Amino acid sequence: MAARGAHITPNVEVKPSLFEVLAADSLNGTFYPAIKRVVDFLATVKPTAFGGLVRYYDEFYLLFNSLTQGYYLKNYGGSLAEIFYGLARTSLRSKTFTTPDRNWSFVVLVLVPYIVRKLEKACDRWREDYENGKHVPANRKLLFRLLPYAKACYESVKLVHYVSYLANVTRTHSPSLQMLRLGLTYLPEQEESWSFRDALHGQVRVATMLSSALLRWLELSAFFLQFIEWWQTEANIGDLSKLPIPDAPEPDANAGKYANVCPICLQKHIIPTAVSVSGGKAIEVREIRPQRETNPGLQEYETNLLQLLDKVTNGTITRVDRDGCSFVYQPGLLYGGIIHHDCSTERGIGYYLDMLVALGPFCKKPLQVTLTGVTNSKESPSVDHIKASALPALKRFLVVDEGLELKILKRGIMPGGGGEITFRCPVRKSLKAIQCTKQTMVKRIRGTAYCCKVSPAMANRAVEHAKGVMLNFLPDVYINTDQHKGKRSGNSPGYGINLVAETTDGTMFAAEAICKTMEEQQGNPSIPEDLGREAGMKLLDEVFRGGCVDSTFQWLVALYMALAQKDVSKFLIGPLSQYTIHFLQHLREFFGITFKLENANGEEGEEGDDREDEELSGSNKVMLTCVGVGYSNFSKRVN
């Protein structure tokens, strides 16, 4: 007791033990992660009220830390963690804690950790961009490479200070205190200056009671945060992970119908798509490629799509079994916002972009998505095709298309990818019921021939022969070339051509041809002239099919018609594709809506009107008619 009380005499120096100062440092490092867990929990329970705290948690903690540390430095001469363990700061020169010492301590305790955390997050983001093939300036690249070494050096210096402090070589235990020329000593014990009896008789100031209550509350909170930190240690997490896995939720009554097939097209399983998410119904898919000897179950690109859906929504639950041959998908609330996603190179970006185009108008916040991967592939619609055909169809239902945009920043060809696009989509309270019942004439042909890491002559040769096909029917044909260089050309060589036919009422028909990959070209290489001819013939086939939308996106129009306002929607399309037929069946399953299908050519032909026969020339047309379910985007913010 005499040694502990000797600090009252100013000429005697009392140095706390190493264990006490280490405990104070440990507690000070506990505040940030422990409070973050509390904030995450609140955001999970009330995302609308506390979601902003998660996004701006660093700034929120900066405010909290400034108020707390500022109060304790000013009134007690130490940080919250140091005061909790009965320690206080003192100058090694004057044996007092002056105002400059307090200001510099505030900077080291509050501002420096905030800047370091921001720097670490920025370096992580730059490192991720660099690993994904994006351009990172040389100074940023040097910074995120040197940061781990700088942290290791600082930890080594701290260890040296700990050992020196234990051996009584130095009077401070940390480099920050050594830099400030400060040390730690025991806080003078203060007897209680008031009691509840004094408070009831009005003999204690309100400020004194509030100050004492705040101190006790923070001390108890500090103890509670240390308890949380102990509870979240890896050993305890390991024990908790040994608990039995809970039973999966009860499957949907209709889930049994979708075994081994896609719930959208009833064909070979790809992945649950827009209808499940927009309809808000949980689905269970079983027996996904179980007969495969190699690589059965979900493929990488399908898992990648589930990850994208998780980013777009809030509260989505996905449970995949261990072999990947079945999973349960329970969609959450469509949220939207700013999203960055690296797509699998096994499929093109169009495989993922189709989903975003279908779900974008119903999100809570406007979509601002950056996707990286393969921009042009044979397995899925290219980004050019979606931009030319899908977006005009969406504009018809949005009425006002402000904020709808699709940009190609980099092109990426199979198999290496390396492309990048940005997609922006506005949100709407509801979609308009429309009637597009007339097919108009094609007025012009436009197109783009692109090449990446190959000679520009490849694109020019494809353009020449594509124009040779189209000029037989229409004089207004213009096809430009798009040659990307450097990192904007992706990671693999290749070329292709995309053609678009525009009618007088704004309907777009698109077709595309792309060269074979290096592996596919062995013994049978792609010829640019044949590629141009192929694209021209595909476009002529689309024009022959006719309608007010090309065959690739018939399903998208049907989806918008089903979710539109409770009014009659009519849309003239060409012969129904197999995908569209199965998609209509699933719209009935998920939304209980049926379409009336009429042979538009037969009805119009009976009238004997030559003009109408000319407008409906080509293949047989189908008139889609339905009454929308009146789907309302209740998540949309009211301005």
Residue 250 lies in a domain: no
478: domain CATH number is: 3.30.360.20
Of 159, 190, 221, which closes a domain?
190
1 within a domain of the structure (yes/no): no
The CB-side HSE value for 248 (13 A sphere, CA atoms) comes to 16
* Mean pLDDT calculated for residue range 401-418: 88
In the chain, the percentage of residues whose pLDDT exceeds 70 is: 78
pLDDT given for residue 126 in this prediction: 84
**Residue 204 main-chain phi, psi, to 5 deg:** -125, 140
Domain presence at residue 315: yes
Asked whether residue 208 is domain-assigned, the answer is no
Residue type, 524: N
Could you identify the residue written with the tokens 């124009």? Answer: 467
563 lies in the same domain as 540: no
Instruction: Check whether residue 533 and residue 569 sit in a common domain.
Output: no
In the three-class reduction of DSSP (H, G, I as helix; E, B as strand; rest coil), residue 576 is classed as coil
Beta bridge partners of 334: 313
35 & 166 share domain = yes
- CB-based contact 633:361 (threshold 8 Å): yes
Specify if 458 maps to a domain: yes
Cβ neighbour number for residue 624 with a 10 Å cutoff: 24
Same domain, 522 and 467: yes
Domain range for residue 626? 549-603+617-638
Same domain for 48 and 160: yes
**Considering the domain boundaries, does residue 9 fall inside one?**
no
pLDDT-based confidence at residue 544 (cuts at 50, 70, 90) = very high
pLDDT at 618 > cutoff 80: no
DSSP, collapsed to helix, strand or coil, labels residue 105 as helix
The encoded tokens of residue 405 equal: 């945009």
Are 304 and 414 found together in one domain? yes
Note the pLDDT of residue 96. 82
* Overall average pLDDT of the 159-178 stretch: 85
Binning pLDDT at 50, 70 and 90, where does residue 571 land? Answer: very high
> Domain check: are 61 and 170 in the same one?
yes
One domain for residues 47 and 61? yes
Measured between alpha carbons, how far is residue 104 from residues 81, 109, 324, 359 in Å? 17, 9, 56, 52
In a domain? residue 612: no
Tell which of 503, 521, 545 closes a domain. 545
Neighbours of 605 (CB within 10 A): 13
Closest CA to 404 of 452, 446, 356: 356
Per-residue pLDDT band for 50 (boundaries 50, 70, 90) equals: confident
- Coil, helix or strand for 29? helix
SS3 431: coil
Most confidently modeled range among 2-6, 8-12, 454-458, 554-558: 554-558
Q: How confident is the model at residue 245 (pLDDT cuts 50, 70, 90)?
A: very low
Quick: pLDDT tens for 334-373.
Answer: 888 999 999 999 999 999 999 999 999 989 889 999 999 9
DSSP 8-state code for residue 477? E
Task: Give the model's pLDDT for residue 212.
Answer: 60
Residue 568 parent element (H or E): strand 568-573
List pLDDT tens digits, range 578-605.
Answer: 889 989 988 888 888 889 999 887 654 4
Give the phi and the psi of residue 344 in degrees, each rounded to 5. -65, 140
- The mean pLDDT value for 203-231 works out to 57
- State the Cα–Cα distance between residues 503 and 525, nearest whole angstrom: 35
Asked whether the predicted pLDDT for residue 554 surpasses 90, the reply is yes
Report pLDDT for 198. Answer: 57
Total count of domains within the chain: 4
Q: How confident is the model at residue 407 (pLDDT cuts 50, 70, 90)?
A: very high
pLDDT tens-digit series, residues 308-322: 998 998 888 888 888
CA 341 to chain centre: 6
- pLDDT computed for residue 80 by the predictor: 82
Provide mean pLDDT across the span 55-67: 87
CATH number of the domain to which 388 belongs: 3.65.10.20
Q: Which one is predicted more confidently, 202 or 486? A: 486
Stated as kind and residue range, the H or E segment containing 450 is strand 442-452
What pLDDT does 557 receive?
94
Torsion of CA 116, 120, 121, 126, to 10 degrees: 140
Domain end point (choices 407, 428, 449): 428
Contact between residue 68 and residue 74 where contact means Cβ atoms under 8 Å apart: no
End-to-end CA distance of the chain: 67
Q: Mean pLDDT in the chain? A: 79
What is the pLDDT at residue 502? 93
The pLDDT, as a whole number, for residue 370 is 94
Rounded percentage of the chain residues whose pLDDT exceeds 90: 25
Is the pLDDT reported for residue 40 higher than 80? no
Residue 67, Cβ neighbours under 10 Å: how many? 11
pLDDT band at 7 (very low <50, low <70, confident <90, very high): very low
- Per-residue pLDDT at 341: 93
Q: What are phi and psi of 229, to 5 degrees?
A: -60, -40
Measured in degrees and rounded to the nearest 5, phi and psi for residue 261 equal -135, 160
- Say if residue 69 is in the same domain as residue 105: yes
DSSP class of residue 297?
S
Q: Which residues contact 579 (CB under 8 A, 6 or more apart)?
A: 265, 554, 555
Decide if 349 contacts 419 (C-beta within 8 A).
Answer: yes
